[in-house]
Amino acid sequence: MSDRLLIDKAKNKNKDAFAELFLRHRDFLYRYLLKLTLNPDLSEDIVQDTMLKSYQNIKKYNGSSSFTSWLITIANRIYFDILRKKKRERNWIKQQQILGQRKLSWQLQQNNDRWSATLESFKELKPDIRAAVLLKHYYGYTYDEIGKLMGVKSGTVKSRVHVGLIQLRKGLLGDEEG
């Protein structure tokens, strides 16, 4: 059954159709969030919150973007809301990220993934810059698409990606070479 048909059924309160639709996109969403948050537990929480929000708002999905893009938009908003709410608790988040990074580093080493080489530099990027770099260079979205997902102009996205790449290069090559 196509996503479009499942979406139509979900809009008519068919819970099974929504569950199937979400399950199709869950793993992609989780992997995206894991790279964004660098924290497996937080990523899982955001996936669950995204599922709830998308179910509550499925009638608002108008099909102007892919269902996955719509889920990423919801997940980004949830993540950035969490960051804003936790501003006073930055130390707590830092500790959670450190724990998550340790878990992620271990998992990546176990999988011998090339991602681990950039993890240390990547974790230093601000979340909005990290999201822009991920969406552009890992998932292949255009600047305009990323702008729509993040609610900013494409020029802002270009700037964030540029800054992010410079920071990653400096982190990987060292300040004197970057």
Q: What is the pLDDT of residues 80-89, one digit of tens each?
A: 999 888 776 6
Given a contact cutoff of 8 angstroms between Cβ atoms, the answer to whether 6 and 18 are in contact is yes
The structure's pTM equals 0.66
Please tell me the distance from the alpha carbon of residue 100 to that of residue 5, in angstroms, as a whole number: 37
Q: What local confidence, expressed as pLDDT, does residue 178 receive?
A: 46
129, 121 Cβ separation under 8 angstroms:
no
Sign of CA dihedral 117, 118, 123, 127: negative
Nearest to 133 by CA among 87, 107, 103, 167: 167
User: What six digits make up the tokens of 91?
Assistant: 């130390």
Domains by residue range for the chain, with CATH? 1-116 (1.10.1740.10), 124-178 (1.10.10.10)
Rounded Cα distance, 27 and 50, in Å: 13
- What pLDDT is stored for residue 172 in this prediction? 72
The candidate with the shortest Cα–Cα distance to 135, out of 126, 145, 125, is 145
pLDDT given for residue 164 in this prediction: 94
Q: What is the pLDDT of residues 125-151, one digit of tens each?
A: 999 999 999 899 888 899 999 999 999
Name the stretches of the chain with pLDDT < 70: 88-93, 95, 99, 101-118, 174-178
The one-letter code for the residue type at 91 is N
